[in-house]
């Protein structure tokens, strides 16, 4: 008789991630994970005390995957922030279930936009933005807020609807939003310095 495969915590997290990616977050159950791993539910519940705990671990894995996806600057749109913005929209189209899991659940209950902007995970993006726009950290956060609302709106529309994707038009609109946000932030800074 062959030895039993030892089910690890990492295997369970990977299985839950794959389930969310293919079927959606509501499909994460101990039974569904055990089916994916071809084992009983016992190892799943041994490593995690509840399905909610599995979802939290899966959320962290999905968030890390999303961050890596955003920071992939291979497809260059001439400006790192445009590239990151287009990656965000493309992620919503290509990874609809992960996008919904990350951004359209109640994960941010009690938080506001400023909490998201002040999150340490956003620091690399803000550093890039601050360097590219030659502005202060506060101005970079303001620019990011404007850009984020626009990009997130488009991404949400693509994640939840079958829409035509016109990359050229999106890049042009995103460029206008970025330039306008930079101009407005620099105007505010200049007015404060008077």
pLDDT value at residue 187: 82
Q: Are 111 and 166 found together in one domain? A: yes
Total count of domains within the chain? 2
Q: Which residues contact 33 (CB under 8 A, 6 or more apart)?
A: 12, 15, 16, 19, 41, 44, 54
| Cα-based distances in Å from 49 to 9, 16, 54, 89, 145 | 12, 15, 8, 35, 37
Q: What is the mean pLDDT of each run of 10 residues along the chain (194 residues)?
A: 77 97 95 95 92 94 93 86 93 95 78 81 86 89 92 92 88 94 82 60
Q: Are 92 and 165 found together in one domain? A: yes
pLDDT value at residue 170: 93
Q: Range of 114's domain?
A: 71-193
The crossing angle, in degrees rounded to 10, of helices 96-103 and 137-160 is 130
> pTM of the full predicted structure?
0.86
pLDDT value at residue 4: 66
Q: Are 4 and 93 found together in one domain? A: no
Q: Are 83 and 138 found together in one domain? A: yes
Which residue from 7, 121, 145, 117 is spatially nearest to 68, judged by alpha carbons? 121
Q: Are 182 and 147 found together in one domain? A: yes
Contact call for residues 56 and 104 (beta carbons, < 8 A): no
Q: Are 90 and 178 found together in one domain? A: yes
pLDDT value at residue 110: 62
The 10 Å Cβ neighbour count of residue 43 is: 21
Residue finishing a domain among 61, 94, 109: 61
pLDDT value at residue 193: 60
Q: Are 43 and 2 found together in one domain? A: yes
CATH (domain of 52): 1.10.10
In a domain, 119, yes or no: yes
Q: Are 78 and 56 found together in one domain? A: no
Residue finishing a domain among 37, 61, 85: 61
């Amino acid at each position: 008789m062959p030895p039993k495969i030892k089910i690890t915590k990492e295997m369970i997290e990977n299985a839950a991630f794959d389930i969310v990616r293919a079927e959606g977050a509501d499909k994460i159950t101990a039974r569904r994970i055990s089916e994916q791993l071809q084992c009983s539910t016992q190892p799943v519940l041994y490593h995690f005390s509840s399905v909610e705990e599995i979802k939290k671990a899966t959320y962290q894995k999905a968030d890390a995957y999303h961050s890596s996806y955003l920071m992939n600057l291979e497809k260059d749109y001439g400006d790192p922030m445009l590239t990151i913005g287009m990656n965000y929209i493309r992620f919503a189209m290509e990874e609809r279930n992960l996008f919904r899991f990350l951004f359209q659940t109640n994960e941010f209950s009690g938080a506001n936009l400023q909490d998201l902007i002040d999150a340490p995970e956003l620091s690399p993006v803000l550093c890039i933005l601050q360097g590219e726009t030659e502005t202060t950290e506060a101005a970079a956060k303001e620019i990011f807020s404007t850009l984020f609302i626009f990009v997130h709106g488009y991404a949400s529309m693509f994640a939840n609807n079958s829409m035509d994707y016109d990359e050229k038009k999106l890049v042009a609109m995103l460029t206008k939003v970025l330039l306008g946000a930079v101009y407005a932030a620099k105007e505010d800074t200049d007015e404060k310095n008077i």
